[in-house]
Amino acid sequence: MQSFFKDFMDGLRGSSPANNYRLVATLAEPEGAINALAFNPTGTSLASDGDDETVRIWDLASFKCVQALSDIEKQWGQITVLKFAQMGPDVSTEWLCFGTGFGMFVVYRRARKSTYFVELLRLKVFTSGDSVESFSFNPHFRRLAVGSHNGTLKVFELEGNGRDLTLLWDDRYDDMIIQSLVFVDQGEHLNIYIMASGDVICRNTDTGEQVYAKRLQSPIGHAEVHHPTVAVVIENMTNGFDLYPFNKPTPSRNFPVETNRLFIKSAVFAENGKIIVTGSDHGKVYIFGTTSSTALQVLKHGGREQLVQVVEVT
């Protein structure tokens, strides 16, 4: 993966929806790819990760890096995916979770009055040659699903104070990449999105039994779910992004984004699901309303050679 989105955009509530976002800061990252971005629940911090095997915590008041998380034993490998998740009953505590290229799943925790994150848990979920591709946590049943690049799926139950994970069941999808995992129906079911094929598989989270399987009309490069409606936006690997209503095999709308190179680009829902923000392979960020295929705004991030592979909102 190549270097991409390092700029921080701010939403403005102006009268023109086509000019709601402007650049307010550029974060000083080291050279190299950034694989994921995540805002904390209060929107006061941003976590970024990348191929340099380091997670950086940015304060969004000063736009400065206030902490860098790395493994002195070099057991992580590159950071492949990260999210904030509510893994404990105390809502004032922040839980930062991430997966790595060497098959590790790592959790850091920061209490409300603390300045820094402290490592709470690390688990060797997959072999060193099989990276963590995706994960999802359901706070209702306290279950964690983790998917690998080589198609292994494991579902755990979180016990005690968050330091113990018990394996409930696992399975393997040979020659498939588990691109995205999403708990639905308050955590009773798990939706599994398979890269490239367009397959979506639903499993019972108690038993692992398959509930259904379907194939979307679009190939899946990246899948992002809007949890309140369970609508999903798919990077279709050909001409942009497709919006799928819950449990429908055909898209309700296409969001065209020029595609010149076969690189995966992410998209996210924003403004309570009213807009979709996407990356591109030519240095631009696109903002669409969910009711129109015409972009509301196009943000220039870099030259046409620059990949914007990851975007995030708060």
Whether pLDDT at 247 is above 80: yes
Burial of 32 (0-12, 13-18, 19+ CB in 10 A): middle
Average pLDDT, the chain: 90
Q: Is residue 215 part of a domain?
A: no
Long-range Cβ contact pairs of 16-23 (< 8 A, separation 24 or more): 17/289, 17/296, 17/297, 18/296, 18/297, 19/297, 20/287, 20/296, 20/297, 21/287, 21/297, 21/299, 23/299
Q: Is residue 286 part of a domain?
A: yes
Element (H, E) at 87: none
Q: Is residue 33 part of a domain?
A: no
pLDDT tens digits, one per residue of 25-56? 888 766 677 889 999 999 999 999 978 999 99
Alpha-carbon distances, residue 28 vs 24, 58, 78, 304 (angstroms): 13, 10, 19, 21
- The domain of 229 spans 222-314
Q: Is residue 273 part of a domain?
A: yes
Q: Is residue 267 part of a domain?
A: yes
pLDDT tens digits, one per residue of 221-232? 999 999 889 899
What pLDDT shows up at residue 12? 39
Element (H, E) at 143: strand 143-148
Q: Is residue 290 part of a domain?
A: yes
What pLDDT shows up at residue 113? 81
For residue 28, what are its two tokens?
A: 């000083």
Q: Is residue 252 part of a domain?
A: yes
| Residue range 18-29: mean pLDDT, rounded | 78
Sign for the CA dihedral angle at 68, 79, 226, 155 comes to: negative
Closest by CA to 190, choosing from 148, 235, 141, 229, is 141
CA distance 261 to 282: 9
User: In 10 A of CB 233, how many CB atoms?
Assistant: 26
Closest by CA to 312, choosing from 277, 273, 263, is 277
What pLDDT shows up at residue 261? 86
* Bridge partners for 178 per DSSP: 194
pLDDT tens digits, one per residue of 266-301? 999 999 999 999 999 999 999 999 999 999 999 998
Count: domains in the chain: 1
Chain-centroid distance, C-alpha 60? 20
Q: Is residue 307 part of a domain?
A: yes
Alpha-carbon distances, residue 229 vs 166, 178, 314 (angstroms): 30, 22, 18
